[in-house]
Amino acid sequence: MDSIFNQPKPVVTIQDEVKNALVQNAAPYPLPEGKRFQYGTAGFRMKADVGLDHVVYAVGIVAALRSKRRNEATIGVMITASHNPAEDNGVKVVDPMGDMLEQEWEEYATQLANTENALFGDIYEKLTNDLLVDPVHQVHTRKSKVVFARDTRASGPHLIKALKASLDALHVEYTDYGILTTPMLHHMVRCHNTKNSPRPFGEASEAGYHKKMANAFKKAMYGRKIKGHLTVDCANGVGGPKLHDLLKYLPNASNDGIDIKVVNDDVIKPEALNYECGADYVKTKQRAPPSSNAVPFERCCSLDGDADRIVYYFIDDNKEFHLLDGDRIATLAANFIADQARVAGIGDKLKIGVVQTAYANGASTEYIQKVMKLPVDCTPTGVKHLHHAAKRFDIGVYFEANGHGTVLFNDNAIDIIKGHDPQSPGQKHALESLDALIDLINQAVGDAFSDMLLTEVALAHRAWSPQDWMNTYIDLPNKLVRVVVPDRNVFKAVDAERRLESPAGAQARIDHYVNLTNRGRAFARASGTEDAVRVYAEAHSARDAEKLANQVAEVVETYGMRAASKS
């Protein structure tokens, strides 16, 4: 940071009025002493009252710069901490097509977040010169446009104030969408930026979002019937009120539609958020929320706190819990889409594939490759990696095991689906269903509502109960453990995080234990969101999976301590 004063004289100088406004407006939001902020996999996320307002103020500046860099495109800012406890909050930037902020810019966000108030004017000038001055375009004179929203957390309004303060200092044109789910905000961003393109994404309003989804759902159902009702646990987060809104547009059961029972939709009690409910609780505890009174074989699903993630589950008649996680949604969706494409007579024209991370259950990967005969790509953790990889297919289905994911249709796929001349009523039906899926699926980002409706459509077309869906393959028993080490950064993973490159020797120890285990697979990687190393292990039996996880955790502990004692 000190280096900004050692730079040659900038080519572009920022008016004092703007620099002063940036410093003055930041006054209520000082940089806390001794804290270091980093833009990670999920943007910035932390306890809301220890300087997050300073970080949000800085993010306003990033969004303004980014909008100019992307030719006055509308950039999004979302205030949420997803599945974290109620006292946390966070902020992330949404790029023009509704995807995550380009990785290279995470560094500028980090730099700005760690800048003292007095230097905001200077760093803005420096970044303007570094990022916005090029010989051809007068990028720095462009306008900036930003849209933003927050989830239901109590700290949200204060953070929005901090955001507006920096946007005002820079004369940014902005729209405050109030309270939205994360995917709804991504939807708005993409709508704004595709308004005048050949493929407009839709109407940039809440009603526009709900109407698009509801109409596509009706079309995709094609008169199929959904058996029984679906119970949706909204984690006492923003998904609750927004799902109630969406239901006003969706056809109900007596109208060939869907019967949804909304639970955990209390946004009045702040401490209820994500407490003993929600997708993260269900996935990590492998059990239904204690408040659930679902009967055997009833379809249930849980959203996370900002509704960008979903898992399904049911209990059987022995009250045993069965989880249908992101891997299951990916296989169901890919299978359905591939089948429809075959029936429509366009199967051989489309490259359909699935993208997973190393956390995907090995049985799901084998099922996709051997039974569904579709290619599978594995990427590092974090949706931005999966999203990017999914673009390599005409239709790319991507999901993390924990329920983040969506399906991407590229231009080639859309042209083929919309342009194919059906040769029979069967082909016509399948083509129309596929066409509806293009709108039903939120292609900007994983969206719990959209994924839920896609799942319901796929189950209805197959006339499958959750048990039928579960029977498609048998998960390998697995175990996830979290190991706290002195410095997680010494653990460097390669090969889509499936192997450790350092500390030297650690991978050989892991391999040793894996080779001793029947159907064993295990890996260790530093978490991108928590100060810990995660260990995943799977094997043919639960006992072996647990044993292998413990052995690998011990390797991580030993090498973590060894690295610390050397430094």
Ligand X SMILES: CC(=O)N[C@H]1[C@@H](OP(=O)(O)O)O[C@H](CO)[C@@H](O)[C@@H]1O
Q: Is position 236 an interface residue for Mg ion (rule: CB under 5 A)?
A: no
Kindly identify the residues of this chain, within the stretch 4-43, that bind ligand X according to CB under 6 A.
41-42
CB 39 within 8 A of CB 116: no
Name the residue nearer to ligand X (CB basis): 258 or 386.
386
Q: Is 264 annotated to bind ligand?
A: no
Q: Is 401 annotated as a binding residue?
A: yes
Q: Which does 308 bind (CB under 5 to 8 A by kind): ligand X, Mg ion, none?
A: Mg ion
To the question of whether residue 255 is assigned a binding role by annotation, the answer is: no
CA dist., res. 58 & res. 69, Å (int) = 17
* Closest distance of CB 3 from Mg ion, Å: 36
307: left (phi over 0), alpha (psi -120 to 50) or beta: left
The question of whether 197 is a catalytic residue gets the answer no
106 binds Mg ion (CB under 5 A): no
Beta strands in 325-387 (DSSP E): 352-357, 376-379
Sign of the alpha-carbon torsion through 83, 86, 88, 93: positive
Instruction: Determine which one of 3, 67, 82, 144 is catalytic.
Output: 82
- Tell me: does residue 308 bind Mg ion (CB under 5 A): yes
Task: Specify the DSSP element, H or E, that contains 548.
Answer: helix 542-566
Q: Is the peptide bond before 251 cis (omega within 30 degrees of 0)?
A: no
Q: How far is the CB of 448 from ligand X (least distance, A)?
A: 13
Q: Which is nearer to ligand X, 31 or 448 (CB)?
A: 448
Write the binding mask 64 to 93 for Mg ion: x where contact by CB under 5 A, - elsewhere. ------------------x-----------
383 is a site residue for ligand X (CB under 6 A) = yes
Listed ranges 88-96, 169-177, 435-443, 524-532: which one lies at the site for ligand X (CB under 6 A): 524-532
Q: Pick the closer one to ligand X by CB: 502 or 529.
A: 529
Tokens at residue 427, please?
Answer: 């082909």
Least spacing, CB of residue 385 vs ligand X, in Å: 9
396 three-state secondary structure: strand
Q: What's the rounded Cα separation, in Å, for the pair 270 and 273?
A: 6
Roughly what angle, to the nearest 10 degrees, separates helices 16-25 and 120-131? 130
Is 502 a known ligand-binding residue?
A: no
**Which option in Mg ion, ligand X, none does residue 41 bind, with CB closer than 5 to 8 A by kind?**
ligand X
- Among 54, 66, 190, 534, the residue binding ligand X under the rule CB under 6 A is 534
> Which residues are CB-contacts of 529 (< 8 A; sequence separation ≥ 6)?
40, 41, 42, 45
Q: How far apart, in whole angstroms, are the C-alpha atoms of residue 9 and residue 333?
A: 56
Phi and psi of 108, rounded to 5°?
Answer: -70, -35
Binding to ligand X by residue 530, rule CB under 6 A?
yes
- Minimum CB separation from ligand X for residue 528, in Å? 3
Strand (E) or helix (H) holding 255:
none
Q: Does 381 bind ligand X (CB under 6 A)?
A: yes
Placement of tokens 């928590």 in the chain: 530
Q: Which of 410, 412, 529, 558 binds ligand X (CB under 6 A)?
A: 529
Q: Among residue numbers 326 through 365, which ones bind ligand X (CB under 6 A)?
A: 359
Answer yes or no: is 309 a known binding residue. no
**Residue among 192, 471, 453, 181 at smallest CA distance from 322:** 471
Terminal Cα distance for the chain, rounded: 26
Between β-strands 145-150 and 173-179, what pairing exists: parallel, antiparallel or unpaired? parallel
Note the residues at the interface with Mg ion (CB under 5 A). 82, 304, 306, 308-309
Residue ranges at the known binding site for Mg(2+): 82, 304, 306, 308
Note the residues at the interface with ligand X (CB under 6 A). 41-42, 359, 381-383, 400, 402, 404, 527-530, 534
Tell me which residues are annotated as active site: 82
